[in-house]
Amino acid sequence: LFFSALQEDTSPTYSVLMLATSFLAAFLIISSLGSSNGKMPGIHETAAWSALSEHTKTINGVHLRDMLQDADRCTALTASHGEIVLDYARNRVTEETMSLLCALAEAAGLDGKRAAMFNGEHINNTEDRAVGHFALRAAAGTSVMIDGRDAVADVHEVLTKIKAFSEKVRSGEWKGCTGKPLKTIIAIGIGGSYLGPEFVFEALKKEKTAEGAAQGRTLKFLANVDPIDIARATEGVDPETTLVVIVSKTFTTAETMLNARSLKNWLLQGIPRVDPSVVLRQHLAAVSTALDKTEEFGIDSNNVFGFWNWVGGRFSVCSAVGMVPLSLHYGFEVMEQFLAGCRDMDQHFLNAPIRQNIPVLMGLLGVWNSSFLGYSSRALLPYCQALLRFPAHIQQVDMESNGKRVTTDGTVLPFETGELDFGEPGTNGQHSFYQLMHQGRVIPADFIGFIESQTPMHLPGEEVSNHDELMSNFFAQPDALACGKTVDELRAEGCPENLIPHKEFPGNRPSLSLLFPRLDPFTCGQLLAIYEHRTAVQGAIWGVNSFDQWGVQLGKVLGIKIRKQLVASRGGASVEGFNPATTALLEKYLAGAQK
């Protein structure tokens, strides 16, 4: 309007006003994009976020037991990929909620952020690194360019080396230094170098093909620097038939390297009559990029397997970190199927429409439950004993990724990100913490089930098979959490009045259910990739860097300081430089150790 009023004016005053107005317009545009320090507005400042915040008022007025009576809603709130079904009808959402969440994903630039990851861009901005764990399972012949190199070609070069080495060990071509075949593998690592591989190892232990491939072999993990863990890992193990795999990118991780030196000493003491250099060459392998350090340690350079700085520890299962020990145990062919399952889910995540995209939907629901409904925890409940270590792995994947306080540009968030993930296989958890879930705190839950058991069993005379008994609980618990038990229902059942308050279940507890056909190497890979990508989705929407972990560093630094104090105090020095509480504990520890 202002320009229209002046468009016929050709005076100098007009020119000055034009210039001033242009500056003003530019200022307003820049201001709309971010604050005066040039930072982009947070997701919480968008209209999409505000719409969802307002929408919670509607949701808070509706109970899940009523929502579940709507057949059309229940049908709409499902997604599938191949034989996998995701049912999220027991979440406190409607079709409107999902539309608003999709709008939030658009406002957060989810599509662009996902594309940036798959294009090899440095989305880990604080460490200036790409994030390429998907390239670890990409098909041979495809290409992903990261830092000017074809990452897929590099990956398959290492995989070829892993296949050759694992087959040599498994066939007996590569033997121990006394001529005995190497039947026991002890993998030394911590954090992502341990939790992920252990989850996969346990998941496949009783799967028919994998179990057959591992016949006569043993795989153990050594993670904790606690000497008890060393004793457990080496108990009943013959050094002459053991191959130790040391997993450390830099070969400097304090806990891992102390454990590595301890196992090195165990090997040398257990095989005393052979040249130490021969013992180490035949009984040690490593996953590392520090070839000078591995050679100095005594490891044959041909038995060192590398990976890249674009592989984060908690996302490294598909790299040599997991593939070396798991291929030695289960065989490379089994692990190829695991990689294929991951790859299948990578493509689903990249290409499926948002309302059928399982990892995206799960990520959106995670944001909804934590950021809008205020639920700070999440239970991971696999109704499959083989997944007993899955919750522990996802704890790290999710909590180390999204437990952040600032956005990627360093802006402090006005809300908390990440959930406290925990879990236990069903039905064990039902007799542990489900009481709190039903009548205490509201904890959204992920139920994971399988149509077929790895070890089917149906006793004569029993009405149902063991697996049907298990799965009866898988189907019952989500409904119990959602619908609860009302006072009227209790009275209709003749419940004594004094017990009604104790037996009432409020319900309205959200959950989702994932149903797979069976747990095998392929579906195990699919499951892992679902949760890896769900984590990335939530981080992308919140605007945090899901791929760094600066919160791990401070404790390490302080640990080094205390370690130096312990060394000094063993030599008689007094405890100095700590707060009074820590000083008192250190003095108590040192006094007890001296006794």
CA 262 to chain CA mean position, Å: 29
Q: How far apart are the first and last CA of the chain?
A: 88
Q: How many residues does the chain have?
A: 595
How many other C-beta atoms are found inside a 10 Å radius of the C-beta of residue 277? 10
What are 445's strand-pairing partners?
A: 379, 511
The domain 62-108+352-548 having CATH identifier 3.40.50.10490: the answer here is yes
Q: What is the pLDDT of residue 40?
A: 73
pLDDT (tens digit per residue) in 337-372: 999 999 999 999 999 999 999 999 999 999 999 999
Question: Same CATH topology for 62-108+352-548 and 147-336?
Answer: yes
Distance CA 358, CA 172 (A): 43
Helix (H) or strand (E) holding 23: helix 12-33
Q: What is the pLDDT of residue 37?
A: 52
Binned average pLDDT, 10 residues per bin, the chain of 595 residues: 40 48 44 50 96 98 98 98 98 98 98 98 98 98 97 98 98 98 98 96 98 98 97 98 96 94 98 98 97 96 96 97 98 98 98 98 98 98 98 98 97 96 97 97 98 98 98 98 98 98 98 98 98 98 97 89 95 96 96 75
**Domain spans in the chain, listed from the N-terminal domain onward:** 62-108+352-548, 147-336, 551-593
Q: What is the pLDDT of residue 36?
A: 40
Please pick, among 336, 400, 419, 532, the residue that the annotation labels catalytic. Answer: 400
* Residue appearing with tokens 């013992």: 279
556 is an active site residue: yes
Burial environment of residue 19 by CB neighbours within 10 A (0 to 12, 13 to 18, 19 or more)? exposed
The whole-model pTM stands at 0.92
Please pick, among 208, 458, 502, 556, the residue that the annotation labels catalytic. Answer: 556
- Taking the domain 147-336, which CATH number applies? 3.40.50.10490
Ramachandran angles phi, psi of 121, nearest 5°: -75, 160
Query: What are the residues whose beta carbons fall under 8 Å from the beta carbon of 568, sequence distance 6 or more?
Result: none
Please pick, among 54, 157, 208, 431, the residue that the annotation labels catalytic. Answer: 431
Helix (H) or strand (E) holding 536: helix 521-542
Q: What is the pLDDT of residue 555?
A: 87
pLDDT (tens digit per residue) in 521-547: 999 999 999 999 999 999 999 999 999
